[in-house]
Structure 1
Amino acid sequence: MSQTGIRRGRFRRSPLGSKWTPYIFLVPAMAYITIFQLVPLLQEIYLSFTKTSLLNPGRNVWVGFENYIATFQSESFQQTMLVTLVYVVVCVAGSVGIGLLVALLLNSRFPGRGIARALVTIPWAAPGIAVAVIAVWMLNAQYGVLSRFLSGLGVAVGEGGVLDDPNLALPAILITTVWQLFPFTAVVLLSALQSVPDELVEAAHVDGAGRWWTFRVVTWPVIRPTIGLIAVLMAIWSIRRFELIWLMTRGGPLGTTKTLVIDLYSQAFDSKQLGTAAAIGMVGIVISLIIVVGGRLVANAAERNS
């Protein structure tokens, strides 16, 4: 063997230094997504076109779009879609709006700001199950603190309590959900506010701009992409929210708090209809995709106009 051949054999490049290195590191993530995400999704798509019972899941009868047609023609599902829409809109608007106000407050200088920043994260850090149990206890008709408070204000609360009242159950769940979600948006928006250049803020103040004009011209363009992203995330998380609603009302009373996820669970484990549940799940996936794509299009349009 020649001296050149020996040198080439000695200094052969390692596979980790080749062009395939990035793909090698992607293999574990792709395997996880394929096994735990893609395969179940394909199974759900197939189930949505079949009549499958939970008691005998191995026996499938192909029914085509029958599950989707029956689902959309159901009046209870139409009510479920309306409740889901109200739940998502209020949760997104409430969590982002309150989170922005709290972030603006925490971004200013005042004594005890560090302690306030730590305390504001408590609702988000609390487990959803614990939040639901505490909310049910506080809204209990006999010894609930909030039920007595509402009664003192003259708000009529039935014998079953707030959560058994069709007019009060959904607002109670919305308030509880927003209370748990807004700390996350506040922390994210606080980090976005800290990226606003101090020089621009000071220049606006020197030019005589007030707080509102400074926020509109200087702060808003910087934090707008973050607000758009957090709004999309909150919308998707609101559609998927299950444990809080289930533990507080189980979708009742009279279906006034039944969202897509609650309806999916009821169809699968109460009615034992896996095909119908899969169809409802696919509706939720399509809605989530529409939210993501719509959010991206709105963000691109805003960037072009700015």
Structure 2
Amino acid sequence: MFILVFQAVPLAQEIFLSFTRTTLLNPTESTWVGLDNFVRIFGDEDFHRTLRTTVVYVIACVVGAVGAGLAVALLLNRSFRGRGWARALVTVPWAAPGIAVALIATWMLNPQYGIVNRFLDAIGLGVPGGAILDSPRYALPAILATTIWQLFPFTSVVLLSALQSVPKDLTEAAMVDGAGPWSAFRAVTWPVIRPTVGLLALLMTIWSLRRFELIWLMTKGGPVGATETLVIDLYSQAFDSKELGSAAAIGMVGVVISLIVIAGSRFVARAAEKEDTR
């Protein structure tokens, strides 16, 4: 019943809305237009750019968050002085609210007093005028760096837990047999943590597809659409253009992409399981 009320019913309403022309100013009156909303958005070059930006954003977030999380987890899995404090501190970005992270990042990237611009100027890589978030070239990398910084603590904690389940005797045996660190990781550690990495990649993909507050607060999808993703476009259509039908159609595109990602992840997981049983 819970799933029916809070998942199935809203989804059905969104599907219906995507086939209508409905305005925010008069949402009770809808005109059935069939596939017109989908034809219009897919015929728009700006929407094609939004899809490309979304794909780049998602892939970079998944690779960056999982890769950084794995590197940090491998480091924290070793014994060193202050490891407990390091494990606690690494979770701070994840614990911080997204709004706070966006505001802090915007302040750090400020062209006048931001510490990032001062650092880049000091090493000779300064952006002209320091307007990183106002640059179509640098705005998206800045958004990506901020997103990955917020996400990687979660992946590092989860992967650290997975690493602690790796049998130490197998790793030591591999090292005694002459395997180097990389060979031992590939032969012993990777098979154990691979399912966890796959799950994290799926979660990061879904979370990146629906990421809104950070992008909106930092750039609002600008400049000139350089950081506009599907959720930003959906919001703009619904509340700026006041076209709820077009916004619902964009939302359905996001739903279809999510379903494709989930189906693909299940296929890869099953293929990996079959390979392991051979």
- Cross-structure match for 1:206: 176
1:35-184 maps to which residues of 2 (within 5 A)?
35-159=5-129, 161-184=131-154
* Contact 1:123-1:181 within 8 A present in 2 as well: yes
1:284 match: 254
**Taking every aligned residue pair, what percent have the same amino acid on both sides?**
68
Q: Flag the structure with larger Rg.
A: 1
Could you report, residue by residue, the CA deviation over 1:4-30 in whole angstroms, capped at 9, with x for unpaired residues? xxxxxxxxxxxxxxxxxxxxxxxxxxx
TM-score, normalised via structure 2 length: 0.97
Q: Distance in 2 between matches of 1:160 and 1:64?
A: 47
Letter in 2 for 1:276: S
Whole-Å separation in 1 of the counterparts to 2:232 and 2:194: 33
**What per-residue deviation string (whole Å, max 9, x for no partner) do you get for residues 52-82 of structure 1?**
0000000100000000011111000000000
Q: Is the 8 A contact 1:99 1:184 kept in 2?
A: yes
Counterpart for residue 24 of structure 1: none
Contact 1:268 1:277 in 2 (8 A): yes
Counterpart CA distance in 2 for 1:270 and 1:58 is 18
Output the CA distance in 2 between the equivalents of 1:233 and 1:182: 12
Whole-Å Cα distance in 1 between the matches of residues 14 and 264 of structure 2?
24
Which runs of 5 or more residues in structure 2 are unaligned?
none
Aligned CA-pair RMSD: 1.0
| Deviation at residue 112 of structure 1 after TM alignment | 0.8
1:264 maps to which of 234, 237, 240: 234
Residue aligning to 1:188: 158
Q: Which runs of 4+ in 1 moved over 6 A?
A: none
For the residue of structure 2 that corresponds to 1:140, the secondary structure is coil
Secondary structure of residue in 2 paired with 1:59: strand
Cα shift at 1:198: 1.5
Partner Cα distance (1:303, 1:235) in 2: 22
SS in structure 1 at match of 2:133: helix
How many residue pairs get matched? 276
Q: Which residue in the other structure is 1:297 paired with? A: 267
Identify the residue that residue 235 of structure 1 maps to in structure 2: 205
Residue 154 of structure 1: how far off its partner (Å): 3.0
What is the distance in 2 between the residues matched to 1:201 and 1:98? Answer: 22
Contact 2:117–2:130 (8 Å) recurs in 1: no
Distance 1:155 1:254 in 2: 24
Q: CA offset at residue 263 of structure 1?
A: 0.3
SS at match of 1:143: coil
**Is the contact between residue 158 and residue 165 of structure 1 (CA under 8 Å) also seen in structure 2?**
no
Give the distance between the partners of 1:32 and 1:160, measured in 2 at CA: 50
Deviation string, structure 1 residues 220-264 (Cα, Å, up to 9, x no partner)? 000001100100110000000000000000000000000000000
- Please tell me the residue identity of whatever aligns with 1:257: T
| Equivalent in the alignment of 1:222 | 192
- Give how far 1:268 is off: 0.2
For structure 1, the residue ranges without an aligned partner over 5 or more in a row are: 1-30
State the AA in 2 paired with 1:285: V
Amino acid at match of 1:48: S
Q: Distance in 2 between matches of 1:160 and 1:120?
A: 29
- SS of residue in 1 equivalent to 2:28: strand
